[in-house]
Amino acid sequence: MRKKAKLYTKIKKTGKEKDISKYRLCKRATQKLERETYQKYVNNLIEVDDPDSTKPSKQKRFWSFIKSLRKGNTGISPL
């Protein structure tokens, strides 16, 4: 993330094609890592370790996650 931010500021200063290509590569790698990490988190919430034991803390995290997805963005609030 920091490397990406540094490359972005360098692009704004120089505008060289070489810097732009480095930034794009770094951006792609960062996005890929973020997506993989998010998928691991969601899979960890969904997967059941032991079917006989239901852990309340894991259920709470799962339903809190579902609730946060349902809220979404409400847009502009009324004045």
Residue 12, domain member (yes or no): yes
pLDDT band for 53, please (50, 70, 90 cuts): low
The number of domains in the chain is 1
Tens digit of each residue's pLDDT (9 = 90 or more) over 1-33: 788 888 888 888 888 899 899 999 999 999 999
pLDDT band for 50, please (50, 70, 90 cuts): low
Domain carrying residue 30: 2-47+57-62
Average pLDDT, the chain: 83
Residue 28, domain member (yes or no): yes
Burial of residue 8 (CB within 10 Å: 0-12, 13-18, 19+) is middle
The two three-digit tokens of residue 79, written as one number: 């004045």
Q: Is residue 27 within 8 Å of 8, Cβ to Cβ?
A: no
Residue with the bigger pLDDT between 46 and 73: it is 46
Q: Which amino acid is at 37?
A: T
Residue 32, domain member (yes or no): yes
Number of residues in the chain: 79
Residue 67, domain member (yes or no): no
Q: Is residue 7 within 8 Å of 24, Cβ to Cβ?
A: no
